[in-house]
């Protein structure tokens, strides 16, 4: 049994794009969904594989993460290798993937709801 989505963040921010995607108010192409997380294809992929993993609870960014989020962050990170290969990333070490989490304006974050970018697949990529 996983922790409820409200345990470590706000359940929903009505002004947040990714909260609207979680609520299915905005359509997205699903990669994975469980009680705690949603993964979906990035609308502007950089590479053959480019999807995002987000907590369903609204947490703005990595800047808000503290020790109380440790277990949740561990579960979120464990989803990365679990989903990467079925989505088309080649196996490690010849394949692999890039895990990116932009944080804040200077960190290049455009959507203020914590998300992991999982980027991979055969090169060349458009970016990165």
Query: In the complex, which residues of this chain contact ligand 5GP (CB under 6 A)?
Result: 17, 26, 28, 40-44, 102, 108-111
Q: Choose which of 16, 80, 99, 111 interacts with Zn ion (CB under 5 A).
A: 16
Residues with Cβ within 8 Å of residue 79, at least 6 apart in sequence? 32, 37, 39, 53
Q: What binding mask, one character per residue, do residues 60-99 give for Zn ion by CB under 5 A, x or -? A: ----------------------------------------
Residue from 58, 113, 115, 117 carrying the catalytic annotation: 115
Q: Which residue has the tokens 């697949």?
A: 121
Nearest-angstrom CA–CA distance, 79 and 37: 9
50 belongs to the catalytic site = no
Instruction: Give yes or no for residue 8 binding Zn ion (CB under 5 A).
Output: no
Instruction: Kindly list the strands in the beta sheet with 49-55, ordered across the sheet, starting from the edge strand earlier in the chain.
Output: 30-33, 37-41, 49-55, 116-120, 97-100
Alpha helix positions (H), 36-122: 70-87
Residue 2 or 76 having the CB closest to ligand 5GP = 76
- Which residues are the active-site residues? 115
């Amino acid at each position: 049994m996983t922790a409820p989505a409200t345990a470590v963040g706000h359940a929903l921010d009505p002004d947040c794009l990714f909260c609207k995607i979680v609520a299915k108010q905005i359509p997205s192409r699903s990669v994975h969904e469980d009680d705690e997380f949603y993964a979906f294809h990035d609308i502007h992929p950089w590479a053959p594989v480019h999807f995002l993993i987000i907590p369903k609870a609204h947490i703005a960014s990595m800047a808000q993460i503290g020790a109380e989020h440790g277990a949740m962050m561990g579960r979120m990170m464990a989803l990365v290798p679990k989903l990467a290969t079925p989505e088309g990333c080649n196996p490690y070490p010849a394949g692999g993937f890039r895990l990116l989490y932009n944080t804040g304006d200077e960190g290049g974050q455009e959507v203020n709801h914590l998300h992991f970018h999982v980027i991979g697949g055969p090169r060349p990529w458009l970016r990165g």
